[in-house]
Every structure is written in C-alpha cells, then in structure tokens.
A and B are shown apart, each in its own frame.
Chain A
Amino acid sequence: MSSLKVIHAFYNDDEILLDAVKTVKAAHHHIDEVFCPFPVHGLDKAMGLAPTRIAITAFMYGITGLSVAIWMTNYMMIQDWPQDIGGKPSFSWFENMPAFVPIMFELTVFFAAHLMVITFYMRSKIWPFRKAENPDPRTTDDHFLMEIPVHNNEEELTALLVKTGAVEINVVEKH
C-alpha cells in the first residue's frame, strides 16, 4: 500500500465546520471523512453522503419477526400439540390468533430492534475489542476534524482551510 498524504483540519465550532464543509465541497475538493464529537445536523447532506437505509432493514427485520411469531405459534399450539386451554379453540391458527397478538407484537419489535442495531454495528464497524480510528483524541471532546486527501495541492488547500476558520491544520501521511 502506498502511503497517502491527507490534510487534517480542526474546527472548534459546529456551525463553522458546516460552512467549511460547504466551502470545501464548492471548491471541488473531496472530503474523505469528518470526525465529530456529537451529531451535526445537515452535515451528511453537506458532505454529499447518501441517506442511510438502516430504517428499511429494520422494517424487513420486523416482518421477519412477525413471520417467525406466526410460524411458531401455529406450529407449537395448532400443529404439533394442540391443547384445549380454557375452551379456547385450537383447531385453526386464525381462531386462536387473538391470544397470539402479544407474542406477534413482541417478536416483531425484538427482531426489528436487535437486528437493526447489529446491522448498524456491522456497517459502522463497531464491536467489542475494535480499535478506535479517530485520528485525534480531541474529536470526541470539542473538536471537529475534516480529512481531505492531498494531490499536490497542499498550499492551495491549506490557504482555503485557513479561510474557512480551521483552528489547526496538519498534513499527515496516511498508511
């Protein structure tokens, strides 16, 4: 892997950062990454990030949970071992269904919530024993870091970033 030169520009205010991102994008520079201590509204749009599809996965997981609940109650209570409990009908799933509504609801939520969070962890690569990759410890406190790849335009980029209100600018080798 050849090493790549990147600029790390630090900001200490969310609104200045947001404007800076817009300026840098307007000057047709590619922004590799922005590290933030807290969510900045509108940053994803300004950076041109695609909207996340994680809510759609949650819906599909929910449908899966509902199906599992229907299959499970039908198999256990109707097919495999039908029982007469308090005279409630056990001949068909549909007749017994009102008693299964709580289970269907809970399993829908269970599947949707847990599988969505697992998807989030996998997609964002966060799990126990994973090493953090934010380049500077201040980015979880009060600083915002913009990472821009350098293609022989170090001077030009630095000048632009100074103008946007960066408080610190470093050119580093990324491995």
Chain B
Amino acid sequence: MSHYEASIREPLILGDKNYHDITEDIVKPIEGKANKHWYMAFYISLAAMLWGFGCIFYTVGTGIGVWGLSKNIGWAWDITNFVWWVGIGHAGTLISAVLLLFRQKWRMAINRSAEAMTIFAVFQAGLFPIIHMGRPWNAYWVLPIPNQFGSLWVNFNSPLLWDVFAISTYLSVSLVFWWTGLLPDFAMIRDRAVKPFQKKIYSLLSFGWSGRAKDWQRFEEVSLVLAGLATPLVLSVHTIVSMDFATSINPGWHSTIFPPYFVAGAIFSGFAMVQTLLGIMRKVTNMEDYITRMHIEYMNIVIILTGGIVAVAYATEFFIAWYTGSPYENYTYLSVGAATGPYSWAFWSLMIFNIMIPQLLWIKKFRRSFIVSFIISIAINIGMWFERFDIIAIVLSKGHLPSTWWRFEPTFVDVGIFIGTIGFFFVLFLLYARTFPVIAQAEVKTILKSSGEFYKKRSAQGIATKPAINIAGNVVINDKSDKKDIE
C-alpha cells in the first residue's frame, strides 16, 4: 500500500526496470567512454572559455575602459550577464527545494542536473561583479572586515552588499544541498568501481557514506529542513538582485513590483535553461526513460505560469509609464519611446522571444514535444537576456540631462567575456555529465514502485508491488563470496 499512486498519472520511469537496472543506467555514462560529440562540444566550450579568460585578463590588465561603458552607462553587459546568470541559477534550487516541499515526484529525475546547472551558473554570475570592480584582487573588501585604513566597515544599507550576502549564501547552501544528495550516489559508484583510481576518487567524494538506517533518517530530515530553508532563500536572491535597481531613483528602475517580477523572470529563465540542457542530456546520456515527456510537460507548465507573471509585469510597467504622463517615463525600457526609439530592436526582441513565442506552449502538442520545447527554451534564454539588457542599457541611455545621452555599444571584450562564461558553463556541465551521477538514483529508486511504468501496470491489474517470498530453496546461507573476505 505504501507504493500506491493513481493509475491515471503517467509513469515517470519508463520500461521494465528493477532497482539494479536503475543503477546500471545511471553509471553507464560514467563508466563508459565519451563519444565524438562529447569531445566536440567540450573543445568548442573550452575554446570559448579560454577566449573569455583572455578578455578578462585584458580587462584587468588595461582597465574597464576596454568595455563599451561611459560615464552615463556605468554598467551594461556585465550586469546584464550577471543578472542573466543568477536568474538561470534559480531553477535548480527551486526544483529541489520548493518541489520537495510540494512532494512532486517528477523533480527526482531532474533535480541533480538542475542543481548542477544552478551552481555552475552562479559561478558565472559571480565573475561579473568581481571583474567590474576593476581591481579584483581587492574583492575581499566586500566582506565585513575592517579595512587597512582604520575600522571603516562595509555599508549594510546598500543593496549591493545585500547581494554579496545573498549570493554567497545561495551558492554555498545550494552546493551543500547538492553534495549531501550526491553522497549515496557517489557511494554506489564507489562500491562497484573496479579501477583502483576510480574507486579512490569516489571513496573520497562519497565521504564514506554507508547507508545505515540512522543515516537515512537524518538524511531525509536534513533534506526536508534544507528545502524549507532554501525555499525563501531562492526567492530572496532575486528579490535582492532586483533591489539593486528598485532602490535607486531612476525612472524605469524605481518600481515596487520589481522583486516578484524578477523572481518570476528568474524561474522562467531557469526552467528554460533546464529544458535546453536536459533536452540534450537525455539523448547524450541515454536517460530517455527517466526524463520523459511528462517531465518536459511539467516544466513547460511552470514556464507558462512564470512567463505569464512576467508578461503581466511588463504590461503593468508599460501602462504605468504611459499613465504617469511623465516625459522621463517615456525613456524607460517599457514605453512607447523604447518601442519606437533607437533601441526598438532590443524592445521587440524582448517582446517576441519572451512574451510571444512562449505562448505556443498553451498548445498541448507543443508542450509535449521535445524539439519544440527545446527551441522555445532557447528563445526564452535569449528573451530573458534582452530583458536585463533593456532594463539596464535603455534606461541608462537617456538620463535627465540630454547632453549625457549615450548609446551603449559593446566592444569585442564585452562580447568575448560573455561568450567566455557560456563556454566556462558548458565546460563545467560537460565534465559533470561524464563524472557525476546525473540522476539522483537513490531518490529515483524510492519512486520506482509508485511511478515506474512496470509497477504501475501491475498495480492497475491488482498485482501487489511486494514480490512473493519464495522460501523453498535458493537462499544462500554462509556461502561467502570472496568480496567479503577482503573486508
């Protein structure tokens, strides 16, 4: 009875599988050899990453004058990229924390990769404010320590400092949450590894996890409490990022709906990136039985919801900008001025990629199609980048003083660093996909009997999930295998 689920729910694990089959499926990409496509993707990403690092060294060596910034537009691509990456980093912990609290079983197949994506994306995000400092070796000045000029402290009134606390808390808590969930899976790889080096590495990574009943009891409690702590944390991070803008007095930024609007946008873009990555990963690592049409559809539903919130926020901003009658509001990123002005291409890119294209997901056929979901997810990634670009570059391009009006144009360094972070992100993700268990196998095993196709079919026929006990013979007694003698 403990493994019952309504038969009208579609199975989350396809095929005729038992617990051991799950183990085999999940270690296959780790124990096997990488194929040509993996190497190709890896080298392209690596090249992009090295190019980006070159641009970062150039920036640091010469100064941030090599970017397309001016006195008026003091931050543009860097903070656009920062907010974009942080936003992408929102889906992982949302999936593992919020969906855990809601007891959504479908999260189990995707939480590991989504969290990996979160952590790698937050790494990229963290790079930008640090490079933008111009003197990254002084980055530790953001920490609450007295500086060498006397005991002048950091400014706790500043949203930029709140960001430091929010993002470092988010990154470190997500990392710990992810790693704790990985321990039983690393232990599984450790226990079946044959190569001594591999065994050593996975022993180290698994922290000596043994899987005692007490360990599991604590593990589940810790997961639940971490989910409870991480849920408001996810919401706080982008709230605080939005305050970087909302607490200023610029028209277009000084807006009280920014926090919920940014959080919804972040979840929107995060799920889009999860779709992009999993669309490829499920094929490359042969996880089609675990990341099913059902998972894609559930994620698309979240995308429709959060995309809808974003669309309503845009409409509100646009209406309020027009309704104030203030001429300054006509320079904001959602206004008639923006739609017809020099940045109209950016405005319309935002509208098309972020608002119009995602509406296709209302059609069930598209929502359940892997290829359509993949294409739409790419459109959303682009759209969400434009949202941040518009908020920053359009708003700053026209200030209160017309003589300071300026149009931002990126230099090759701006573009190079952005491409570099995309490369860095994919380098990390590709390495992860080859060395880490990409699906939380211990958790997936707990739902096999309730949501696995094989068991669901049997349950529908009235066959119990518990196998019959066969007492007559085939119990091995005191026949020790050689494995145990070593121990």
Q: Which residues of A contact B (CB under 8 A)?
A: 12-16, 19, 33-44, 47, 49, 51-52, 54-55, 58, 62, 72-73, 76-77, 80-81, 83, 85-86, 88, 96, 99-100, 102-103, 105-107, 109-110, 112-114, 116-117, 120-121, 123-142, 158, 162-172
Contacts and interface: CB of A to CB of B under 8 A. Distances in A.
Nearest to A90: B157
B176 A142 contact: no
Contacts of A167: 474-476
B355 interface: no
B157 A38 contact: no
A142 B156 contact: no
Contacts of B469: 16, 164-165
B146 to A, nearest CB: 9
A37 B445 contact: yes
Given A141-B23, A162-B471, A130 B208 contact: yes
Contacts of A162: 471, 475, 477
Interface residues of B, number: 83
Nearest to B477: A169
B443 A88 contact: no
Contacts of A139: 191, 211
Contacts of B229: 58, 62, 109, 112-113
Among B155, B173, B190, B477, the most chain A Cβ lie within 10 Å of the Cβ of B477
Given A130-B208, A132-B210, A141-B188, 17 more contacts: A13-B466, A34-B213, A37-B211, A49-B214, A54-B225, A55-B225, A77-B157, A81-B152, A81-B153, A102-B236, A103-B162, A124-B218, A132-B187, A138-B191, A139-B191, A139-B211, A142-B20
Contacts of B155: 77, 83, 85
B479 to A, nearest CB: 8
Interface string B463-487: 0011101110011111110011001
9 contacts: A39-B217, A40-B216, A49-B217, A81-B153, A106-B169, A116-B226, A124-B214, A139-B211, A158-B477
Among B191, B211, B217, B471, the most chain A Cβ lie within 10 Å of the Cβ of B211
Interface in B180-198: 180, 183-184, 187-188, 190-192
B230 interface: yes
Contact of B478 (A15, A36, A40, A169): A169
B212 interface: yes
B154 interface: yes
B222 A106 contact: no
B191 A137 contact: yes
Given A124-B214, A165-B469, A114 B157 contact: no
A13 B240 CA distance: 47
Contact of B211 (A19, A123, A134): A134
B311 interface: no
Nearest to B27: A141
A104 B469 CA distance: 56
Contact of A39 (B2, B19, B204, B442): B442
Contact of A55 (B208, B221, B474, B487): B221
B341 interface: no
B18 interface: yes
A116 B176 CA distance: 11
Contacts of A42: 2
Contacts of B169: 106-107, 109-110
- Counting from the closest, the 3 A-B pairs by CB-CB distance are A130-B208, A137-B191, A165-B469
B366 interface: no
Given A72-B144, A131-B208, A136 B483 contact: yes
B211 A52 contact: no
B481 to A, nearest CB: 9
A132 B235 CA distance: 37
A156 B52 CA distance: 69
Contact of A76 (B154, B206, B487): B154
Contacts of A105: 232, 236
A141 B191 contact: yes
B215 A124 contact: yes
Contacts of A44: 213-214, 216-217
Contacts of A133: 208, 210
Contact of A131 (B191, B192, B203, B446): B203
Contacts of B190: 132, 140
Contacts of B158: 85
Contacts of B191: 132, 134, 137-141
B208 A127 contact: yes
Contacts of A129: 204, 208
Contacts of B20: 141-142
Contact of A38 (B221, B230, B446, B474): B446
Contact of B213 (A36, A121, A132, A169): A36
Nearest to A18: B2
B91 interface: no
B295 to A, nearest CB: 20
A80 B476 contact: no
A130 B186 CA distance: 13
Contacts of B219: 39, 120, 124
B225 A132 contact: no
B310 interface: no
Given A43-B213, A113-B230, A165-B471, A38 B476 contact: no
